[in-house]
Every structure is written in C-alpha cells, then in structure tokens.
C-alpha cells in the first residue's frame, strides 16, 4: 500500500493512495475517495525523532577518502526540521553553503527496543524519500552536526510511505537539481543494511511509531541556492520535490 497524511477541508486525515486519488481511512470522511489534487500533502508521519546515518555508502566513503566505519555513525535531527513534499527549504542567513543529500528513509511502524536484525523488518511500516539538508559551512565550523542539520525545513521527507511488500529489494536513489542529475546510487552499496541499522539504533534508543531513520546518502552531494528545485527519487518509493528559498 501507499499511505499518506493530508489536510482535507481543514481537517487532518490519513489515506491510501490509489493512482491519482486517495481513499480516506480516518475521521468522518472515512471511505471517501478524493482526487489527490484536492488534498494538501503533509509529511507521511509525525516522528518523535529523526535518526540519520552518516557515511553508509561505500562509494560515498571512497568519494570523501574516508575509511569504512565499523558500525553505523548516527546523529539526530529534531522533529521540528520536518518538511512535507511541495514545501520550501529555507536557507538560514547565517549559512553560505547549504547542501542536498538524497536518502532512503525507513518509517517505524510500532514501538521497538533492543530488536535483532532478524526482527527489525517486523517493526517497519514502510519507506519514504528523504533529503538530509545540511549547512555544510556550519558543519565544518562547529566540528559536529547538530546546528548544521537541525534548522527548520532541513528534513524534507515524503510524499508518502510505501509498505515493504511494494518495495524492490534493490533501490536506486537519485537527486535532480533543476532537472539535472546530481546524485545516483543504489542501496546495494550500503555498508549497513536497513535491518542492521534499525537493530543498532534500537539498542541505543526506543523507536516510536512514526519515527524516521534516514539511511545515508550516495555520492554527489552538493550545494543548493534560492530558486532551485530539488527532487529526491527512490525507485519503487516515490519522488520528493521541494524548492529552495
């Protein structure tokens, strides 16, 4: 299934996307079929936290000349950084360079803690597209990542959640900047698999329903400027579009 969250007639609703229409699955409009263009797309979940994995693609590590990590390198973005499909990424005035990073994201389906890699898939609701927006100059200045990656609008994800039964085993991840291909990679180049990542993070912190795990970016990260259109595309998952202001 393809699942989404929307605003419809001023109300928050959930629904199942079926082509260009949505079958509403919550509230007083439950069961009603509505054309997609009559709905405002929201982030497909409301995470309590956004957990990101750094340096998780072999070709990206090669690009940076960095050694392969022995275990996942994780960091957090605040939920306040969440941004839906179609909304604007805002460049803060204190940064002179803000980069895109296309990623596959995992959406947690139910609370979990201390799960094994073999159990991890049972706790995944599905997958979505993610852009790990980063103020690169502030990241280098600070020597750590919280400020550089934590600004409002710096965690676009969506537009929908695609359940695991619809997702191919190997996914291609692309990023287009103003229609030009800038990033291209495949999940087969991941250093740590989705199952390993979910298990690893669950040993550190309790994962709640709706939490987002961004699984790392392939090679080709680069800067964005006001007026740019940024598209993250994950095969079998969707297409996340945002503009930069």
Residues 236 and 162: beta-carbon distance below 8 Å: yes
Average pLDDT for residues 22-28, to the nearest whole number? 93
Domains of the chain in start order, with CATH, are: 1-42 (2.30.30.370), 45-244 (3.90.850.10)
Predicted local confidence at residue 13, as pLDDT: 96
Q: How high is the pLDDT of residue 58? A: 85
Q: What pLDDT does residue 122 have? A: 96
pLDDT level of residue 227 (50, 70, 90 thresholds): very high
Could you report the per-residue pLDDT of 28-56, keeping only the tens digit for each? Answer: 889 999 999 999 999 999 999 999 999 89
| pLDDT tens per residue, range 55-88 | 899 887 777 777 888 999 999 999 999 999 999 9
pLDDT of residue 169: 84
Tell me the whole-structure pTM to 2 decimals: 0.96
């Amino acid at each position: 299934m393809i699942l989404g969250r929307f605003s419809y007639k001023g109300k928050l609703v959930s629904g199942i996307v079926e082509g260009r229409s949505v079958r509403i699955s919550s509230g007083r409009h439950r069961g009603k079929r509505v054309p997609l263009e009559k709905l405002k797309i929201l982030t497909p979940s409301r995470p309590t936290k956004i957990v990101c994995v750094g340096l998780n693609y072999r070709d990206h590590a090669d690009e940076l000349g960095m050694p392969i990590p022995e275990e996942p390198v994780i960091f957090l973005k605040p939920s306040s950084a969440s941004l839906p499909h179609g909304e604007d990424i805002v460049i803060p005035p204190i940064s002179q360079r803000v980069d895109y990073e296309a990623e596959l994201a995992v959406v947690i389906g139910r609370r979990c803690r201390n799960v094994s890699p073999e159990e991890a898939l049972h706790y995944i609701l599905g997958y979505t597209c993610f852009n790990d927006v980063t103020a690169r100059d502030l990241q280098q200045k600070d020597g750590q990542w919280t400020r550089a990656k934590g600004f409002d609008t710096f965690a676009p994800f969506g537009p929908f959640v695609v359940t695991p039964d619809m997702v191919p085993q190997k996914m291609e991840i692309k990023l287009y900047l103003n229609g030009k291909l800038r990033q291209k990679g495949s999940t087969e180049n991941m250093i740590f698999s989705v199952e390993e990542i979910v298990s690893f993070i669950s040993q550190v912190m309790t994962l709640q329903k709706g939490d987002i795990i961004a699984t790392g970016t392939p090679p080709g990260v680069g800067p964005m400027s006001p007026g740019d259109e940024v598209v993250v595309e994950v095969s079998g998952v969707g297409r996340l579009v945002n503009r930069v202001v």
